Amino acid sequence: MLQIEAIDLENAIHEASEKLGCSPDQVDYFVLQEPVTGIFGVGRKFAIIIASIKVSSINFNIQNEKKILLLIIKMMVSFKVY
């Protein structure tokens, strides 16, 4: 899992897909914070999501197993609890 912060949800999902190495439609995400534009930028809040690869999108074969395991370990190490 990755925590992503971006100006809007679309950008957050796109960034998550790049970091996870998949297409945006293969990203499963949970919104922690909806983006708020604020007035003239004052009070602006970015979109914050927790993202992972959809289980149905993972192609389990021998060549991908190592990549998937390394990705899971990387996500576990980088997960932040607030």
Give 82 or 73, the one with higher predicted confidence.
Answer: 73
With bands split at pLDDT 50, 70 and 90, how would you rate the model's confidence at 82? Answer: low
pLDDT given for residue 27 in this prediction = 93
The domain in which residue 39 lies consists of: 2-78
pLDDT digits (tens, 9 = 90+) for 41-63: 788 899 999 999 987 755 555 55
Domain count within the chain: 1
Encode 28-48 in three state secondary structure.
Answer: EEEEEECCECCECCECCECEE
With bands split at pLDDT 50, 70 and 90, how would you rate the model's confidence at 79? Answer: low
pTM beyond 0.85: no
Contact (CB, 8 A) for 48 and 5? yes
pLDDT digits (tens, 9 = 90+) for 18-45: 999 889 999 999 999 999 988 887 888 9
**Quick one: which of 65, 56, 82, 76 has its CA closest to 2?**
76
